[in-house]
Chain A
Amino acid sequence: MRTLLAALLLAFSLGPAFAVEPEEMLDDPALEARAREISKELRCLVCQNQSIDDSNAGLARDLRVLVRERLTAGDSNEDALRYIVDRYGDFVLLRPPVSPRTYALWFGPSLLFVIAGLGLVVFFRRRQAAPAETPPPLTGEERARLETLMDEDRKP
Chain B
Amino acid sequence: MNKRLLFILPVALLIGIAVLFAVGLKHDPSIVPSVLLDKPAPSFDLAPLSNDKPGLATADLNGEVSLVNVFASWCGPCRVEHPLFMRLAEEGEVPVYGINYKDKAADAKRWLRDLGDPYTRIGVDRDGRVAIEWGVYGVPETFVIDREGTIRFKHVGPLSPEVLEETILPLVRNLQQ
Contact = CB atoms under 8 A, between A and B. Distances in A.
A121 interface: no
B35 A48 contact: no
Nearest to A66: B132
Contacts of A90: 35
A125 to B, nearest CB: 15
Interface in A71-94: 85-91
A88 B138 contact: no
B35 A63 contact: no
Contacts of A98: none
A62 interface: yes
B132 A89 contact: no
B33 interface: yes
B129 A89 contact: no
Name the interface size band of chain B: 10 to 19
Contacts of B138: 45-46
Given A58-B102, A88-B135, A89-B135, A48 B128 contact: no
B30 interface: yes
Given A62-B129, A87-B35, A87-B133, 20 more contacts: A48-B30, A58-B102, A58-B128, A59-B128, A59-B132, A59-B137, A62-B127, A62-B128, A63-B132, A66-B132, A86-B35, A87-B134, A87-B135, A88-B32, A88-B135, A88-B137, A89-B33, A89-B34, A89-B35, A90-B35
